[in-house]
Amino acid sequence: MDQRAFLEHAIEQYGKATYNFAFRLTRNEADAADLTQEAFIRVYRAWQSFKPGTSFLSWIYRIVTNLHRDELRRRKGRFFQEEIPEQAVQPIEEYVDAQLSEPVSRALADLAPGQRTIVELADIDGCSYQEIGQIVGCSVGTVRSRLHRARGQLRKLVKEYMKLTS
Amino acid sequence: MNETHPSIERIVDYLYRELPPEDDAAVHAHLASCRSCDERRAEELSLTELLRAHANATERELPLRVVAGIRSAVEHPPQSLWERLNAALRPIVLVPVAAAVAVALYIGYDAWHRAAVPTAIDAGYYVNSHAVMAAAAPFGDAAPPMVLTSDNESR
């Protein structure tokens, strides 16, 4: 497989997942599009460094995470500062099941960005603790403790918002 | 960990299949026989299902413009900083350099031309002019070396 074929295959197989991951990180379509585009350009340039047999998704998610961090640093001059402007949150009418999604969406938005990413990687993307550690750049032990703390908070918040919704 | 009931963290690790095989088997056996722990497992599982349902409901298609942007970027890679700088500075640098080279060539050619073609001196004019100058200032620089007639005669 040549470089261009590798890229096309990657876009076809993982483009949507990567874009959704970028959107969950940024909660903004324009930024998600930019991150996804830049990530695949990096994949194209560094295609020979990908080791067959390893998880491509983990690799590209790590690229997206690093690009996002760099962008946050560039914009705010601080590391891991990720406050989402209210207007960037998607309108509620986009949810297929608003009753179900709204409390979850609000609860996720209340989590610290680092915790939210770990929960989403574990529950939505089905990544292992080790893969999450590689993507976000921390140890398996840190992933486990952050995940448990995040789930505890999420459980409480979802219950609260479900009561409010009902 | 509680010896009889697994902690919530352990149940979550079990759900994520992150426990070593022997621990996984132990938790599995416990959940099969403990209703309260199994309810906690079900509660944790429902949270995961809620998150997945939310993700499915809000899932987005990859915009075509992103794919087009990727293809365009790899087909027409942007110039490096040096290349861009070089391109921007080229007219600013090249015009004065070209002018300086033209002037240098002109001056060089002129100088070479003058050196290469010695000025023709008319011998008659030289002798006449020199004789006039020597007569006007016999001891000046232009005068011929003084030679005493008596010296010539004595030889």
CATH number of the domain that residue A129 is part of: 1.10.10.10
* Contact residues, chain B, for A41 at CB < 8 Å: 70, 73-74
- Among the partner-chain residues A104, A129, A151, the one whose CB lies closest to the CB of B18 is A129
8 A C-beta contact, residue A33 and residue A94: no
* Contact residues, chain A, for B66 at CB < 8 Å: 15, 19, 33, 36-37
Q: Which of A17-31, A35-49, B38-52, B141-155 has the lowest mean pLDDT?
A: B141-155
- Among the partner-chain residues B44, B58, B66, the one whose CB lies closest to the CB of A19 is B66
Residue A41 and residue A4 share a domain: yes
Distance CA A157, CA A7 (A): 40
Q: Do A36 and B9 touch (CB under 8 A)?
A: no
Distance CA A48, CA A3 (A): 8
Q: Is the pLDDT of residue B106 over 50?
A: yes
Residue A110 and residue A75 share a domain: no
Domain boundary among A79, A113, A146: A79
Distance CA A83, CA B51 (A): 21
At B69, is the pLDDT very low, low, confident or very high (cuts 50, 70, 90)?
very high
A126 is a domain residue: yes
Smallest CA–CA distance from A101 into chain B, residue: B54
Domain boundary among A22, A48, A79: A79
In this prediction, residues B86-107 reach a mean pLDDT of 84
Distance CA B146, CA B133 (A): 15
The predicted-structure confidence for A23-62, as pLDDT tens digits, reads as follows 999 888 999 999 999 999 999 999 988 888 888 999 999 9
Q: Is B58 helix (H, G, I), strand (E, B) or coil?
A: coil
Residue A73 and residue A1 share a domain: yes
Smallest CA–CA distance from B59 into chain A, residue: A20
Domains contained in chain A, number: 2
Q: Is the pLDDT of residue B4 over 70?
A: yes
Residue A100 and residue A75 share a domain: no
Q: How far is B36 from chain A (nearest CA, A)?
A: 17
What percent of chain A stands above pLDDT 90? 61
pLDDT at B20: 96
Taking CA A105 as the corner, what is the angle to CA A99 and CA B10, rounded to the nearest 5 degrees? 105
A91 is a domain residue: no
In this prediction, residues A106-129 reach a mean pLDDT of 93
In this structure, is the dihedral angle defined by the CA atoms of residues B33, B34, B37 and B42, taken in order, positive or negative?
A: positive
- Rg (C-alpha) for chain A, rounded Å, is 17
8 A C-beta contact, residue A22 and residue A68: yes
Residue A100 and residue A72 share a domain: no
Backbone angles phi, psi at B144, to 5 degrees: -70, 155
Q: Do B62 and A122 touch (CB under 8 A)?
A: no
8 A C-beta contact, residue A29 and residue A23: yes
Cα distances (Å, whole numbers) of residue B25 to A8, A141, B11, B20, B143: 42, 21, 12, 9, 126
* CATH number of A67's domain: 1.10.1740.10
What percent of chain A stands above pLDDT 70? 85
Tokens 């070209």 sit on residue: B98
* Contact residues, chain B, for A19 at CB < 8 Å: 60-63, 66
At B148, is the pLDDT very low, low, confident or very high (cuts 50, 70, 90)?
low
Residue A45 and residue A12 share a domain: yes
A86 is a domain residue: no
Strand ranges for B2-132 from DSSP E = none
Residue A160 and residue A129 share a domain: yes
8 A C-beta contact, residue A71 and residue A38: no
Q: Which of A22-26, A87-91, B84-88 has the lowest mean pLDDT?
A: A87-91
Q: Is B64 on the interface with A (CB under 8 A)?
A: no
pLDDT at A83: 47
Q: Do A119 and B73 touch (CB under 8 A)?
A: no
Q: Which residues, in sequence order, are CB contacts of B144 under 8 Å at separation 6+?
A: B130, B134
Q: Is B72 on the interface with A (CB under 8 A)?
A: no
Distance CA A70, CA B24 (A): 39
In this prediction, residues A65-69 reach a mean pLDDT of 93
Distance CA A147, CA A141 (A): 10
In this structure, is the dihedral angle defined by the CA atoms of residues B99, B101, B104 and B108, taken in order, positive or negative?
A: negative
pLDDT at A87: 46
Distance CA A76, CA A83 (A): 10
Task: Find the domain containing A127 and state its range.
Answer: 96-166
- Among the partner-chain residues A11, A95, A151, the one whose CB lies closest to the CB of B67 is A11
Smallest CA–CA distance from A15 into chain B, residue: B62
Most confident of A63-72, A157-166, B102-111: A63-72
Instruction: Record the tokens describing residue B71, joined without a space.
Output: 């293809």
8 A C-beta contact, residue A125 and residue A64: no
Domain ranges of chain B: 8-59, 80-144
Residue A154 and residue A100 share a domain: yes
Tokens 């009931």 sit on residue: B5
Residue A102 and residue A162 share a domain: yes
Strand ranges for chain B from DSSP E = none
3-state helix, strand, coil in chain B (%, to 5): 70, 0, 30
A87 is a domain residue: no
CA dihedral A128, B61, B71, A56 (to 10 degrees): 10
